[in-house]
Amino acid sequence: MKYEAVLFDLDGTLTDPKVGITKSVQYALSHHGIQVDDPDTLIPYIGPPLIVSFQEIHSFSEKESMQLVEKYREYFKDRGIYENELYDGIQGLLEMLTQQGRKLIVATSKPTVFALEVLKHFGIGSYFEVVCGSNLDGTLSDKSEIINDVFKKTGVNKHAAIMIGDRKHDIIGARKNDIESISVGYGYGSDEELSAIQPTYYVKTVLELQEFFANDI
């Protein structure tokens, strides 16, 4: 078995958070004078750290972005966090990986407290030995820092670890930590984004992900 430890991104990889995240961003922007009629236009916010997205997508300053993140959380913590769906096949995948004896870890830019609640909500928290996310104050939000934090906390052998995610930030974070990666095509990264970033592997579906690990024995 080549990969003894499997690191998972959360949003767009384990769960589909589109409704909750886009509505939370819509809520935050409305309190800053920007009305967004179609929440689907806010899909690019799924994946990267929010404070970065508010600056890059809507050109807010860092200070304004921090204020927007606080507004975002007003909606998200009570409603948006539950407007979410587990991707079909994920629970079966986690069960298979656990039975194979692999160490499963969540590495997400979402604040750890929210990530833990999402995993609990879907009844999959017990599959993961460690959940590493960002802090509520915005620190430790870069994916490369989060992955590095995983290794600090677990002592996992990098040569036996792989990162799975749906956005370029997951692959960049893996590369900066000298570990291999899998991009998944069912999440929110475009084909152009994922091909340009050159992950170690690319799969289109959860079933292909399961087949990948079924053959890694």
Give the distance from CA 146 to its chain's centroid. 11
Q: Hey, which residues does 162 pair with through a beta bridge?
A: 6, 180
Given the structure tokens 């606080």, which residue do they identify?
70
Which of 214, 213, 158, 215 has the alpha carbon at shortest distance from 182?
Answer: 213
- Determine the distance from the C-alpha atom of residue 7 to the mean position of all C-alpha atoms in its chain, rounded to a whole number: 10
If one counts every other C-beta atom within 10 angstroms of the C-beta of residue 19, the result is 16
Element (DSSP H or E) covering residue 17: none
Identify which of 110, 128, 145, 153 has the alpha carbon closest to the alpha carbon of residue 10. Answer: 110
29 and 36 Cβ atoms separated by less than 8 Å: yes
Measure Cα distances from 192 to 68, 175, 195, 196 in Å: 29, 18, 5, 6
Q: Which of 9, 142, 166, 170 is catalytic?
A: 9
CB 13 within 8 A of CB 165: yes
C-alpha 26: how far from chain center? 20
Check if 170 is active-site: no
Active-site amino acid positions: 9
